[in-house]
Structure 1
C-alpha cells in the first residue's frame, strides 16, 4: 500500500510534468472549430506557448498564464494574466480578451479547451514531448500568425549544436518517492537523445502513470549504476539531500566520482520557455563535455 508521502510526491510530480507533456500516445490536437484564417488576438495558457507566440508575433499576444517564468520577464509585464500557479485559467478573463485563438496543453487544459470550443473560440491544445513536436508546433503557429518561423527554428538548431562527445552513461531523477526517470518518449528523454547522451532509462517501460517516465527501485539504480546523475527538484524540497541520506546512494559510481548535478526543472523536464531550453542545452554541454 502506498504511503501518504508517496502519493503526495507522485501527484505533485504528475502535475508538474503534465504541464509540459503527456503520454506520447496522445498526439497534438486542435478543435473542430479551428479556422485556417490568421489569428490576431492570442491567449496562451502555458508559458512555452506564450513565449513562442511572443517571439513569432509579439503584438498578437494578449493574454498569458501566471507563470514565474513570464512574471520575471519585462516583455510580458503589460499583458493580462488569465491564471495563477496551477489553478485553471479564469474563463471570464479569457473571454473578455476576445481572442480568436487560445493555446493550451493537452491533458492540462482539456476542460477549459472544451468550454471555449462550446462558445466558439478557436482552441489549439498541443503536446511538447520532443524537439520535433516543438518544431512542428512552431511552424503551425507561425502560419496562423502570418509570421516567419525560420528565426525560431534556427535558434532551436543552434541550441543543439555542437553536441558533446561523451561515452558517459546518464540518469535523470525527477523525484524520490517514487523514484522517476524519463524514457525516450518524454521531452527530457528526447532532449538527452538529441545530445547523444546515453540515457539508461531511454528504452525502459514501466507501470508509472506518467507517460514518458518509468519508476525505479534502489536496486535498479544500483544495477544500472550510471556515470552521471542529474537530480531535478521541481518543488524545492531538497531531493538531492534526501537521496544523500539513502543507504544505497553512496554506493553509486556517480556519487563516488562526484558526477551528481542538481538540474533546473524548467528547460529539461518542462520546456517552460526558449531561454530555459537554451540554458539546459548549455548546462548539458558543459557537464558532458567536462565529464568525457
Structure 2
C-alpha cells in the first residue's frame, strides 16, 4: 500500500513539492526537476503591474500564505484535506478536489486577476489560463529560503507587507539548536526511501542541526531529493533516531510501525533498541502543505530531537 503511494501519489504530489523540495506547494514531484533550489517562477507576460485583488490558488501552501497575508483577496482555492474544517475557507469556492485537475470554467467564473499554481503540478492548467489572458504564477518550495522568497513575492503581488508572517516563520525554528543526533527519515518500507539534503525535509532537518545520515547520499530513486536505501545501508548507518512518515491519504501510526517491524534489520538498530522511533505527518515534513503543518512539524522536531 505504501509502495503504491510512493509510486503514484508520491510521484505526483512530490513531483510538485519535491521538485521544489529537491532541487519539488506542496505539493511535490515534477518528479525529475533538475533545479537545485526551488523558487517561484512566473511567465514573462503575466505578473500584474498593480495589486491583484481577486486571487485563485491551486495549492494548499499558497492558499494558506495568501489567506495569512490578506484573506479578502482569495476568491477561489483548490480543495485540500488540510483545510477541511478550517472556518477561513468554508465560504470560498473550490475549483478542484483531491487529485482532479482544476475546473477552468469555475476559475473563469470567479474573474480572477491572478491564478497561482505549483510548479510540476499545475503547469498545464496554468498554461491554459495564461492563454486566456489571466495573470499567473508558478511556485516551488523545497527549502526554507524558498518559503520566505515565495511569501515575499506573493505579498508584493497583492500589495501587503509580509514582515509579520516572515517573523512567524522564524518563531518556528529553535533559537539555538543543540543537536547533532544521527537521524534517518524513512518515508516508506518497500522500497526504503529517505530524503537527502535536496528536499524540503532535508533542508528542515539542517535548520535544526539534525545529522541527516542520508543528506549526502545520491541514488536512482524516481523521486528527486530522495534516495533508495537497502537494509544493509540502514544497518550500516545505525541511526540514533528514526522518523517514520504517515502517508498523505492517512494511516495509523501502528500500521506504519508494523510495516517496518517486519524488516529483519529493525530490531538491530540503536533507535529501535532505545525507543527513539517517531512518527511524523507527511504534511509539514515531506510536503510543506500549510503554515500550520510546518509549525506542528517544527514543534515535534523540538520536542523529539532537542529536548
**Counterpart check, 1:204 vs 2:221:** no
In structure 2, relative to structure 1, the CA distance for the partners of 1:8 and 1:268 (3 Å cut) is closer
CA distance in 2, matches of 1:14, 1:72: 27
C-alpha deviation, 1:72, in angstroms? 1.5
Q: Which runs of 4+ in 1 moved over 4 A?
A: 4-8
Query: Paired residue for 2:44?
Result: 32
One of 115, 137, 140 as aligned partner of 1:127: 140
Could you tell which deviates more after superposition, 195-204 or 4-13? 4-13
1:41 counterpart (18, 36, 54): 54
Question: Offset at 1:14?
Answer: 1.7
Match of 1:182 among 185, 195, 201: 195
- How far 1:6 sits from its partner (Å)? 4.6
Contact kept? 2:179, 2:208, Cα under 8 Å: no
Q: What is the CA–CA distance in structure 2 between the aligned matches of 1:262 and 1:120, rounded to whole Å?
A: 45
Structure 1 range deviating more: 10-19 or 191-200: 10-19
Q: Supply the distance in 1 between the matched residues of 2:6 and 2:294 (Cα, whole angstroms).
A: 25
- For the residue of structure 2 that corresponds to 1:181, the secondary structure is strand
Aligned partner (choices 217, 223, 236) of residue 250 of structure 2:
236
1:191 matched to 2:188: no
User: Structure 2: how far apart are the matches of 1:174 and 1:225?
Assistant: 16
In structure 1, distance between residues paired with 2:80 and 2:17: 13
Larger mean Cα displacement after TM superposition, 186-195 or 202-211: 202-211
What's the secondary structure of 2:8's corresponding residue? helix
Q: What residue in structure 2 maps to residue 280 of structure 1?
A: 297
CA RMSD of aligned residues (A): 1.6
Which of these residues, 67, 71, 79, is aligned with residue 66 of structure 1? 79
Residue 18 (structure 1) shift: 2.6
User: Residues 152 and 66 of structure 1: is their aligned pair in 2 closer, same or farther, counting only changes over 3 Å?
Assistant: same
TM-score by length of 2: 0.89
- How far apart are residue 213 of structure 1 and its match? 0.9
> Is 1:251 matched up with 2:272?
no
User: In the comparison of the two structures, how many residue pairs are matched?
Assistant: 287
Q: For residues 261 and 114 of structure 1, do their structure 2 counterparts lie closer, same or farther at Cα, with a shift above 3 Å needed?
A: same
* Equivalence for 2:166: 153
Does residue 215 of the first structure (1) align with residue 228 of the second (2)?
yes
Local SS of the residue matching 2:279: strand
Cα displacement (A) at 1:163: 4.5
Sort the Cα spacing of 1:121 and 1:275 in 2 relative to 1 into closer, same or farther, 3 A.
same
Per-residue CA deviations over 1:88-136 (Å, capped at 9, x if unaligned) read 1111111111111111110011111111111111111111000100101
**Secondary structure at the counterpart of residue 21 of structure 1:** helix
Note the C-alpha offset of 1:162: 2.6
Deviations 1:231-266 (A, max 9, x none): 002143523211011111111111111001111111
**Equivalence for 2:31:** none
What residue is the counterpart of 1:11 in the other structure? 8
> 1:41–1:61: 8 Å Cα contact kept in structure 2?
yes
Q: Does 1:266 align with 2:252?
A: no
Given that 2:13 and 2:121 are in contact with CA atoms closer than 8 Å, whether structure 1 keeps it comes out as no
Q: 2:240 aligns to what?
A: 227
State the alpha-carbon separation in 2 of the partners of residues 21 and 72 from structure 1.
Answer: 26
Provide structure 2 residue ranges, at least 5 long, that are not aligned to the other structure. 24-33
2: distance between equivalents of 1:36 and 1:134? Answer: 23
Q: Deviations over 1:153-188 (max 9, x none)?
A: 001111113344123101111112221111111111
Normalised to the residue count of structure 1, the TM-score between the two structures is: 0.94
